[in-house]
Structures are given as structure tokens and as C-alpha cells.
Amino acid sequence: MLTNSLDPQTKSATSLPPHDAKARVRQFMQQLQDQITQGLADLDGVESFQEDRWERPEGGGGRSRILREGAVFEQAGVNFSEVWGSHLPPSILVQRPEAEGHSFYATGTSMVLHPRNPYVPTVHINYRYFEAGPVWWFGGGADLTPYYPFAEDAKHFHNTFKQACDAHHPEYYPVFKRWCDEYFYLKHRDETRGIGGLFFDYQHGEGQLYRGPHPDNAAAMYSDSLDRIAPRSWEELFAFVKDCGNAFLPAYIPIVQRRNEIEYGDRQRNFQLYRRGRYVEFNLVYDRGTIFGLQTNGRTESILMSLPPLVRWEYGYQPQPNSPEAELYEIFLKPQDWINWTPSHTEAK
């Protein structure tokens, strides 16, 4: 029998946050932004990030860093934010009703990269921390959105994050990979946004690992099939989030280095712009970070920096049979076991 992964009676009392929790998470999130922007600027080699500091009238603020018109990146945005207020927005209370009536604190780093070359995939990460009265949790993840199918890239991306997960719990990757496939799914298109990666939320150290809204989907069913998960402390979860954040550059830079010099033409560029439309659709219709930012009066320019600078839509598009574009739809926009992928999985296509 499936359990309710969002039982409001579940308490986050295994390990209360240390007295300096906010300061430590804030420091890490800022360091992660620094580390990633430096690594990406070195990789691009032409343009650098421009920083825009902002303040939120209700409390808090952030640093938005944008690189535009670079050699590798058409646009890259890496945000740090730290906000607080008197009450959480509805998008959070739906999932954590026990936080209602409490003031909140939230901090995190988020990033979306839109490369110029269609053979280089778009990528997104987000790691965050919330407190609301006695309630606290970590969330985050990373996902890769290729425009052209390279299974070795998908395998490398997943392997890198699996290693980060396995250092902390053997079931993190199996659950959070399935949760990622579930979350980055465009229901109105019946396709995933890309090849996935990791996604987790509402992790406070107790109960099942999956804490999402779909008890009949693969992530919940797998999570509920596991033996009881031992309680995990605040320190253990923070260490896990740090390792996931630090895994990003090793997961992504080798892919860019493999693909950025591949020549492309109008066909590939037009397909990239068309597929970017799916990114816009997901972020404006489904993305919880976008919804949270807008509901808490966040800075609109920073919230929407995830959108690509150029995009196109085409009515009734269908890829040519047996083309790389068709392979993307047939294999890469459906959940796959990328860790155990072998070339024979796609050679028949």
C-alpha cells in the first residue's frame, strides 16, 4: 500500500537546524555562485558575467549575474537570492501546510545556461533552503536539455550526479532521478524537457525520500517500496546539497568541450530555437521556482532570466523520420536508464 509522501503530521524534528544554519547556507550558496560563474567565464573565454545586485522591499535581496553574447553562451544566468517575509506563498503551503502562519526564510542559487551551438545542451541547476518556524527543508536538482542526441553526454551527466548522491545514500539517485523525470515533464506535450538528472524537495531528514504530489508515479512507487529510511540530520542533508552543487562543473564542462566545435547550419539552429520554446512553456506554466518568485514579489528580471534570448514556435512540427531530431523525440525525451546505457540501445535507430 502506498503511503502519503506529504503527510502533514510528519515533523522535521530529527535534527533542528544549528543556530548558524542560515549564515552557513547563505555562505555556501554565494560561494557556489562564485565558483560556477568563474568556471563558466573561463570556459567561454570571451565574455564575463555582469552582476546586478537587488533588494526586495519585503526583506532580502540577491545577486544576479548574466553573461551575454559570449563565444560559448548566448546567454547564461546564475542567481543568488536570500529572502524573508511574514508568510509563505500558496505555492509552498500547498505542499507544506504545517508551515502556515509562520514567517519564512529562503535562500538559494539557480542557474540556466543557453549555449550558442545547438550541439551543446542547455542546463539548469537550483539548490535552496527554507525555514518557516519549526519547519525546515532542503531542495534542488540539476537537469540537462539537449537539442541533439548524444547518449554518452547523458550518461556522463547522470554518472557525475549519481556519484555525488552515492556518497551520502544509495537510494538518493534512484529516487531523485525518477522524481526529476516526473517534475521536468510537459503534460500538454507528453514529453520530458530533456534527459533529466536530479530533483528533490522538502528534504528534512525524516520519512520517505519522495515528497512530491504524485503517489502513483514511478518516483513515489520506488520510494515507498524501500525499507524504512534512517533519519538524516540537518548536517547530513547540507553536506549532500553541497556535494551536488559542487558536481555541476564536472558534469557539464566536459560535454561543452566535446560539442562546442561541431559545425552547424540553419537546420540545426532552427531546431534549437524551436526546442527552446519547450523551455519557455515549462518555465512559465509549471516551474515552481518561477511561481514562488512571482508570488513573493521577487525581482522579475532575475526570475525570468531562465528564458532564452531567442526562440521560435512552429505549428505542427514533425521531425523527419530516421533523423537526429526524430531520435531526440523517440529516445531522449522519454525517461531512460542512462547509467546503464550502452550503444546498442540507440544503434537500431
**HEC states along 280-330?**
HHHHHHCCHHHHHHHHCCCCHHHHHHHCCCCCCCCCCCCCCCCCHHHHHHH
Helix H or strand E segment including 135: strand 135-145
In a domain, residue 290? The reply is yes
Quick check: 8 pLDDT over 80? no
Euclidean distance between CA atoms 308 and 291, whole angstroms: 18
In this prediction, residue 94 carries a pLDDT of 76
Q: Which one is predicted more confidently, 285 or 5?
A: 285
Question: What's the domain range around 122?
Answer: 21-347
In this prediction, residue 196 carries a pLDDT of 98
In this prediction, residue 13 carries a pLDDT of 45
Quick check: 182 pLDDT over 90? yes
Can you tell me the mean pLDDT for 223-242? 97
For the ranges 56-60, 117-121, 178-182, 268-272, which has the lowest average pLDDT? Answer: 56-60
Percent of the chain with pLDDT over 70: 94
Q: Which residues of 179-189 are buried (b: 16+ CB within 10 A; e: fewer)?
A: bbbbbbbbeee
What residues are annotated to the active site? 124
In a domain, residue 210? The reply is yes
Asked whether 96 and 137 are in contact (CB, 8 A), the reply is yes
In a domain, residue 293? The reply is yes
C-alpha distances out from residue 239 to 25, 133, 139, 252, Å: 10, 22, 13, 21
Helix H or strand E segment including 75: strand 73-85
Quick check: 135 pLDDT over 80? yes
Among 308, 323, 252, CA closest to 275: 308
Quick check: 177 pLDDT over 70? yes
In a domain, residue 207? The reply is yes
When divided into structural domains, the chain yields a total of 1
In a domain, residue 6? The reply is no
Can you tell me the mean pLDDT for 205-211? 95
In a domain, residue 188? The reply is yes
Q: Which residues of 34-47 are buried (b: 16+ CB within 10 A; e: fewer)?
A: ebbbeebbebbeeb
Can you tell me the mean pLDDT for 222-249? 97
Percent of the chain with pLDDT over 90: 79
Quick check: 4 pLDDT over 50? no
In this prediction, residue 234 carries a pLDDT of 97
Give this prediction's pTM: 0.91
Residue 12 confidence class, pLDDT cut points 50, 70, 90: very low
In a domain, residue 13? The reply is no
Hey, how many other C-beta atoms are within 10 angstroms of the C-beta on 167?
A: 14
Q: What does the mean pLDDT of the chain come to?
A: 91
In this prediction, residue 303 carries a pLDDT of 79
In this prediction, residue 344 carries a pLDDT of 55
In a domain, residue 14? The reply is no
86: CATH: 3.40.1500.10
Rg for the chain, CA atoms, rounded: 20
Helix H or strand E segment including 157: helix 151-166
